[in-house]
């Protein structure tokens, strides 16, 4: 029996597969009641450790419309988890005979990746902390594809809380893969996380450029806007400007607004005010005249009800399209639809941390919140200097010193000798004292590494 196919990150799908899902979703949407023959006898389990309305109900509706059944555990905090059962044990039990696919929402970043290591059935990430939300991204991309007719080269403005919005993080990676241009207009203090910007730079060659978004008026008056594009400078369609001058925003294809993710805020962050508010006056800004307005919902005060009837506002359509999109996702992962010859991109390998303490700096990473069945892991992005990230939540690992677990020698992270250490033998240290306490010693220039 082959290993199950999971959807933990938007990267788990190739571009061809994403476009194939769009076509199947479009077919399902033609008659939502006409597909009950797709998954008869199959069961999905909704394991939600955080509250949800649209995501949980749309997945359950999708499974029922495909002819399957659903098990819903919408309050996992009052289930066996309250008795101390680990996430790993939960998904092993649920995936053994209870269900054929698991839809997981969890408060810890990297939880879905951990679940996929243990579940014998497909795991779908329905949101893990402030990390990723790939199925919402697919719904967002599907909406853009329907409204704009394409994804390549679109000019997208992201507004609001870009730091804690997991929908944004998955979204920007997908937009970059499709060659879209992104303008970040964050609420001050809630800029894009550094690990997101670093990955855009490493994988797509995106270099952030400060931008002039004054044409958006009050909508961006307090924001330090940043422009991200995977395209070459001479191909830019979004901005004009002379060298050395901040490029000026001229047009927008879509404005994506996010709510403040207050459930993840510190006391200091809760005290910040003046969050973005989009109303008729702000939507009248010249660059937005043809822009569709999107929002993952739920909304608070960031979008005024007076633009709900504006033909550019598509956020309720966006939510409704979650059902056919998730029908396509379920049918695909359960092997009920054929994607042709498309195949997923190769997985980026991670390695277990076998020596020393957990190097992940993120206190809400699953490698820190789950006390059992979790061995910290890391992914290597660069060898010179060493740049690594947590294998679960992608947080950057800050380690000025790097050791070899076989020779027990350590080096400066930018030493050329580090290149000779096998990726799975790397050990990360914050200081020489930490390294020496674990039995490592400084390496000589002639040290032989393996």
Active-site residue, 54 included:
yes
Give the CB-side neighbour count of residue 332, counting CA atoms within 13 A. Answer: 29
Active-site residue, 105 included:
yes
- How far apart CA 319 and CA 325 sit, in angstroms, is 10
Annotated catalytic residue: which of 33, 37, 83, 267?
Answer: 83
Nearest to 216 by CA among 269, 154, 155, 299: 155
Annotated catalytic residue: which of 133, 199, 259, 282?
Answer: 133
Active-site residue, 55 included:
yes
For residue 395, how far is the Cα from the chain centroid? 12
- How far apart CA 149 and CA 97 sit, in angstroms, is 42
Q: Is the dihedral of CA 47, 48, 53, 59 positive or negative?
A: negative
In this structure, the chain runs to a length of 450
Annotated catalytic residue: which of 6, 24, 65, 105?
Answer: 105
Give one DSSP letter per residue of 137-190, joined into a string. HHHHHHHHHHHHS--TT-EEEEEE--SS-HHHHHHHHHHHHTT-EEEEEEPTT-
For residue 80, how far is the Cα from the chain centroid? 28
- How far apart CA 423 and CA 420 sit, in angstroms, is 9
Q: Residue ranges of the alpha helices (H) in 311-373?
A: 315-320, 322-333, 366-369
Residue 226 φ then ψ, to 5°: -130, 140
Residue 396, classed as helix, strand or coil, is: strand
Nearest to 325 by CA among 55, 99, 106: 55
User: Which strand ranges, in their side-by-side order, compose the sheet holding 155-160?
Assistant: 209-210, 226-228, 181-186, 155-160, 254-257, 292-294
For residue 447, how far is the Cα from the chain centroid? 41
Pairing of strands 209-210, 181-186: unpaired
Distances (CA, A) of 348 to 203, 220, 250, 260, 364: 12, 37, 37, 32, 22
Query: Catalytic site residues?
Result: 54-55, 83, 105, 133
């Amino acid at each position: 029996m082959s290993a199950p196919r999971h959807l933990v990150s938007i990267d788990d799908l190739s571009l061809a597969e994403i476009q194939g899902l769009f076509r199947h979703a479009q077919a399902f949407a033609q008659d939502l009641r006409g597909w009950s023959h797709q998954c008869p006898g199959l069961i999905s389990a909704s394991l939600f450790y955080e509250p949800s309305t649209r995501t949980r109900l749309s997945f359950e509706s999708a499974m029922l419309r495909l002819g399957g059944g659903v098990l819903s555990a919408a309050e996992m905090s009052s289930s066996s988890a309250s008795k101390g059962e680990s996430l790993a044990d939960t998904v092993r039990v649920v995936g053994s005979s209870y269900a054929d696919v698991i839809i997981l929402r969890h408060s810890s970043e990297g939880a879905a990746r951990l679940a996929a290591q243990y579940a014998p059935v497909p795991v779908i990430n329905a949101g893990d902390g402030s990390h990723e939300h790939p199925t919402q991204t697919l719904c967002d991309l599907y909406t853009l594809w329907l409204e704009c007719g394409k994804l390549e080269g679109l000019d997208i403005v992201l507004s609001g809380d870009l730091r804690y919005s997991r929908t944004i993080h998955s979204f920007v990676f997908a937009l970059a893969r499709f060659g879209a241009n992104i303008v970040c207009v964050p609420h001050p203090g809630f800029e894009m996380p550094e690990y997101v910007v670093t990955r855009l730079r490493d994988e797509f060659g995106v270099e952030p450029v400060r931008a002039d978004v004054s044409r958006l008026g009050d909508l961006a008056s307090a924001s330090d806007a940043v422009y991200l594009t995977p395209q070459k400078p001479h191909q830019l369609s979004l901005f004009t400007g002379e060298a050395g001058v901040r490029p000026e925003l001229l047009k927008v294809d879509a404005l994506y607004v996010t709510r403040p993710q207050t459930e993840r805020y510190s006391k200091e962050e809760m005290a910040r005010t003046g969050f973005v508010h989009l109303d008729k006056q702000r939507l009248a800004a010249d660059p937005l005249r043809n822009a569709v307005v999107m929002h993952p919902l739920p909304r608070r005060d960031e979008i005024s009800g007076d633009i709900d009837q504006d033909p550019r506002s598509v956020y309720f359509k966006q939510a409704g399209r979650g059902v056919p999109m998730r029908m396509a996702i379920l049918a695909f992962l359960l092997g009920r639809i054929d994607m042709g010859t498309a195949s997923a991109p190769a997985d980026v390998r991670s390695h277990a941390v076998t020596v020393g303490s957990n190097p992940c700096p993120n206190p809400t990473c699953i490698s820190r919140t789950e006390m059992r069945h979790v061995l910290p892991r890391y992914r290597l992005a660069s060898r010179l200097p060493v740049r690594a990230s947590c294998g679960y939540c992608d947080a950057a690992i800050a380690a000025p010193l790097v050791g070899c677990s076989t020779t027990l020698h350590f080096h400066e992270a930018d030493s050329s000798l580090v290149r000779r250490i096998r990726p799975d033998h790397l050990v990360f240290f914050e200081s020489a004292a930490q390294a020496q306490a674990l039995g490592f010693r400084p390496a000589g220039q002639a040290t032989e590494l393996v």
